[in-house]
């Protein structure tokens, strides 16, 4: 997959790799972020045969995960779908039986009122799981490393083939943590795009990541 920022060479994004598109140009950084959010037409996403891809489907733009703190909200639908897909028949029967027992108890309580009230269980396990308000453990939220790691593993668990788009990763991880995530992602095989505001001299921090840079004079570098 390729990300094309108008006026600049394509940025190659591959599975299992971290691809960094960095800049110290504020206008460039703003246009990249807003483009990935869908607010301008400065970016184009192409497949390896240079055919247009739908940006919203090709890249899951999660941005600054630590600041936004909305991982569970973004992927709540995908998480529930994945859980339902992997339920065994035994799991389904167990959930169904427990739900019917709950509704029966509620109905008994309603009989005690002097009103014609009733509840009915429709067998919708998706609605049942949504009612449970599934969320990530608070322990995950205590570490930037764990937050980003969870995002990558979530894409694997949900069989989401989209590229993960993140920003400001270097603000939260030291170089050892960053390299550890890169090693993990070789196994996960998730395509990852990082948009970073930094100086070109900080290239070493990003280790084995593919590194593209646009400087203040809009000059492109591939390091």
Q: Report, as an integer, the average pLDDT of 186-212.
A: 98
The domains of the chain, with CATH numbers, are 2-70+161-222 (3.40.50.11940)
Neighbouring residues of 139: CB distance < 8 A, sequence distance ≥ 6: 146
Gap between the Cα atoms of 162 and 64, Å rounded? 17
* pLDDT exceeds cutoff 90 at 139: no
pTM score, two decimals? 0.89
pLDDT digits 0-9 by tens, 46-68: 999 999 999 999 999 999 999 98
User: Can you give the pLDDT at residue 39?
Assistant: 95
Gap between the Cα atoms of 145 and 156, Å rounded? 17
Gap between the Cα atoms of 185 and 148, Å rounded? 11
Gap between the Cα atoms of 185 and 180, Å rounded? 9
Alpha helices, H only, the chain: 26-36, 55-58, 65-68, 71-74, 76-85, 89-111, 125-131, 144-157, 175-188
């Amino acid at each position: 997959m390729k990300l094309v920022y108008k006026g600049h060479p394509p940025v190659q994004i591959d599975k299992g790799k971290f691809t960094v598109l960095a800049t110290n140009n504020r206008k460039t950084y703003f246009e990249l972020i807003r483009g990935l959010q869908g607010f301008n037409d400065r970016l184009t996403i192409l497949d390896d045969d240079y055919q247009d891809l739908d940006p919203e489907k090709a890249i899951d733009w999660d941005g600054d995960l630590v600041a936004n703190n909305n991982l569970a909200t973004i992927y709540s639908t995908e998480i529930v779908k994945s859980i339902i897909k992997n339920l065994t028949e035994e799991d389904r029967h167990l959930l169904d039986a427990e739900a019917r027992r709950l509704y029966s108890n509620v109905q008994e309580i309603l009989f005690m009122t002097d009103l014609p009230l009733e509840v009915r269980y429709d067998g919708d396990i998706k609605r049942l799981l949504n009612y449970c308000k599934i969320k990530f453990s608070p322990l995950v939220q205590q570490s930037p490393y764990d937050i980003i790691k969870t995002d990558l593993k979530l894409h694997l668990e949900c069989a989401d083939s989209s590229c993960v788009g993140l920003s400001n990763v270097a603000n939260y991880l030291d170089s050892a943590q960053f390299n550890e995530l890169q090693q993990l992602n070789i196994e996960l095989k998730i395509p990852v795009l990082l948009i970073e505001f930094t100086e070109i001299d900080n290239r070493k921090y990003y280790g084995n990541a593919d590194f593209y840079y646009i400087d203040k004079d809009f000059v492109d570098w591939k390091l």
